[in-house]
Amino acid sequence: MTVTADQTDFSDHAHLGDDDLSGVWRRGDQVDAAALKQTAGAFPSGVTVITTVQGIQPVGMTVSSFTTVSIDPPLVLVCVDRRASCLHAFRIGAPMGVNVLGCEQGPLARTFAGRGEDRFDGVEYRAGPHGVPLLEGTSAWLSTHIDRIYDGGDHQILVARVHAVHRDDTPPLLYHSGRMHDWAVAAVASRAEQH
């Protein structure tokens, strides 16, 4: 798809017929929210639980919008819905754990996606660097401090500086088309169907 401004110069597209320009976007165009969610859902991602502490209380929520921003300096970001009940605990300077969930941790992802008061009730975790809660059984974790927060429409974009990392051999949990998937189980099932 070609992204253009309001005053479109199609000279770069002279080789295209009129029908080929149907995907050209112009500023001011608005896509349907449901269509955007469905289309974005075609891109698989991992599932994380971000954690921090508020006083002595552990706080956490499920987030699938996570990516590395920079290696030098080491920066990552997560995008958090502004309506998230514990967003206020994730502020500039706060320590933040990014727990990359393992393939069998779908129930844990649902727990931290819920609206419950104590999402840590019955959850195994330990205090990591700077006191961030690190969940047991994850595929990986990152210990960070929130460096910057940006406005991202109906989300806030938290950029965090990474201080410590750990990776395990546990395959990750995946999120695709609005559902969580254990890709390791799916791969075995797919191979079995092929034989």
Question: Per-residue pLDDT for the chain (195 aa), expressed as one digit of tens each?
Answer: 433 344 444 445 555 555 555 666 666 677 777 776 666 665 566 789 999 999 889 999 999 889 999 999 999 999 999 999 899 999 999 999 999 999 899 899 999 998 766 898 889 999 999 999 999 999 999 999 999 999 998 899 999 999 999 999 888 887 655 556 566 665 555 556 666
Regarding whether 145 and 63 lie in a shared domain, the answer is yes
Regarding whether 159 and 86 lie in a shared domain, the answer is yes
160 SS3 class? strand
Distance in angstroms (rounded) separating the CA atoms of residues 167 and 184: 17
Q: Name which of 49, 33, 55, 56 is nearest 84 in CA terms.
A: 49
Q: Is 41 exposed, middle or buried (0-12, 13-18, 19+ CB in 10 A)?
A: middle
Amino acid at 3: V
Q: Domain total for the chain?
A: 2
Exposure string of 137-173, with b = 16+ CB inside 10 Å and e = fewer, is ebbbbbbbbbbebeeeeebbbbbbbbeeeeeeebebb
Amino acid at 114: G
φ/ψ bin of 5: left (φ > 0), alpha (ψ from -120 to 50), beta (otherwise):
beta
Regarding whether 146 and 106 lie in a shared domain, the answer is yes
Q: Is residue 174 part of a domain?
A: yes
Residue the block writes with tokens 């933040």: 96
Q: Is residue 35 part of a domain?
A: no
Residue the block writes with tokens 């791969």: 187
Distance in angstroms (rounded) separating the CA atoms of residues 94 and 32: 35
Residue the block writes with tokens 């974009």: 157
Q: Is residue 40 part of a domain?
A: no
Domain extent for 85: 45-194
Regarding whether 164 and 91 lie in a shared domain, the answer is yes
Residue the block writes with tokens 């960070």: 144
Q: What is the largest CA-CA distance in the chain?
A: 63
Q: Is residue 86 part of a domain?
A: yes
Regarding whether 80 and 9 lie in a shared domain, the answer is no
pTM: 0.75
Q: What is the CATH number of the domain that holds 145?
A: 2.30.110.10
